[in-house]
Structure formats: C-alpha cells, structure tokens
Structure 1
C-alpha cells in the first residue's frame, strides 16, 4: 500500500499548491456554469477520504461533523470561506493521509462496512476504499483544473 499512499500524498501536495497559488477570492469563486469552487472540491476530497476509510471502518473520523455536513456528497458552497478556514483545510490535506497511513500500518482498520459507490462498484475492505479514494481524488483534481481555467 506504500505506492497507493504515495499517489494520495502526491495529489494532496498538488492541492496544497492550488491553495498557495490562488487568492482567497479565487478559491471561493463559483464560476458561471459550475456548482462549486476550488476550495469546496479540496475540502470534499478530505471529507470523502475520511468517510470511505474511517467511517466505514467504524472508527472516528479525523474531521469534524460540521466539516462532513458542509462537504459531503450532495452539498455545494453555502458561503465564502475565511483565510483561517482555508488554513485548516490546507493542514488537513497532508495530516489526514499521514495519519491514515500510520493507522493502516498499525492495523487499526479491522472491520469494514461494504459500500457501493455512485459508479455501482462495491468497496469490500479498507484497501479497496483507499485505492478507490485515489480515483475519486483524481476526478476532483480534474474539476479543479476546469474551475481554474474559468477564473
């Protein structure tokens, strides 16, 4: 799983770069024709990874219930985020993956509640969840690239 975690970290480093290279206004902007913005997509991948890996393993997530409610599937930006809120998201990008890898190595993920994703593929264990998460994050990286071109 080292390779899989490595891919996740590389993607997360790209996302950190988007935060560092864009203004607060750009991160919050919902361009015409879009339903969300760059920072929503970034926060969404954090929440989704936590739900797929920790929640479905019956473990406490590393993000708040409020964050889950704001960025889970089916949500969209309700208001502009402050710089301090974006700083929290930026910190979570790397820390959540480092902690997930640490917990995986420790054998923390003992059970998994099977879950069928929107593509109709069923995740049977935490390894499949971690691997699927990379696909999901790749999709949202594509959305972010499209959003960036629309700024």
Structure 2
C-alpha cells in the first residue's frame, strides 16, 4: 500500500497540474451558476486541504501562508475574499513543491496511527487515501467548471 499510495499521489498531482496549467486565466475567477465557488478557489482548496491532511497545516507546517485557511479552507468562498489572494502561478508553484514533499514521505509513515481518529480514519495511510480522493474529486469539479465557463464564453 505504501509505494502504491506514493505512486497515486504522483499520478494524481501530475494530472491535476496538467489540467491547471492549461487553464485560461481569464475564466478561473468566474463562478458558474450552480457552483459555490470558482476554479481559482478549487485549486487553492486542494493545496490547502492536502497540506492539512498530510503535513498538519497550520500547526505543524509553515509551507503555506496562514491566510490560505481563510481563503481556501472548508466553508470558505471567493465572494468573501478581500485581498491576499495568490495568483494562479503561485498556487501552481506551491502545488509542485508540495508534490515533491509528498514524494519524500516515508512509506512506513502510512502505517502510523493518528493521535485521534479523523473522519473515521485511524491511520496516516487512510488519511492519505482520503487526500487522494479529495484531489481527484476537485479535479473533476475543475474540469466541469472549465467546460461550462469556456462554453458559455465562446457562445456569447
């Protein structure tokens, strides 16, 4: 499971970055009808939640600015943003750096029990698999939003 999980992180992040790097920046802050957020938020959310799950952000990790929780944490939304929102290129850079750190995790770490169960998960490996599911889910959201917004803009 350990090497498999690390390979899945590498593959998922590679696909995620490929999609994100091909986005038209003109559409990342458009909120499509029926969605609670934007592509910009989705990207920052994946980065922030993965940092929380895998590296204990913000208490155990200083790899992201603390305001990322206010911008991209659960329950946040772009309509509440005022300032300090990172540009797409900054998020992409941080995603790449985080991907490198993910790959440097020890395979043995995935067997470690969590200090207390979280969302029903009892080991770090179970939490890691949730992080993978979370990223893949948001990748699908980004792809759907991109298609919706791009089609709407082209049809005007």
Q: Which secondary structure state, in structure 1, belongs to the residue aligned with residue 46 of structure 2?
A: helix
Q: What is the alpha-carbon distance in structure 2 between the residues aligned to residue 138 and residue 24 of structure 1? A: 21
Q: What is the alpha-carbon distance in structure 2 between the residues aligned to residue 147 and residue 76 of structure 1? A: 15
Change (3 A) 1:111 1:29: same
Change (3 A) 1:115 1:39: farther
**Equivalent of 1:104, from 99, 103, 106?**
106
The count of aligned residue pairs is 145
Q: What is the correspondence of 1:1-151 to structure 2 with a 5 Å cutoff?
A: 1-55=2-56, 59-78=60-79, 79=81, 85-104=87-106, 112-117=114-119, 122-151=120-149
Contact 2:113/2:123, CA 8 A, preserved across alignment: yes
TM-score normalised by the chain length of structure 1: 0.79
Q: Which runs of 4+ in 1 moved over 6 A?
A: 80-84
- Let me know the Cα RMSD of the aligned residues: 2.9
Q: What is the alpha-carbon distance in structure 2 between the residues aligned to residue 115 and residue 145 of structure 1? A: 32
Change (3 A) 1:36 1:129: same
TM-score normalised by the chain length of structure 2: 0.77
Q: Which runs of 5+ in 1 are unaligned?
A: none
Q: CA deviation at 1:135?
A: 1.1
Contact 2:37/2:77, CA 8 A, preserved across alignment: yes
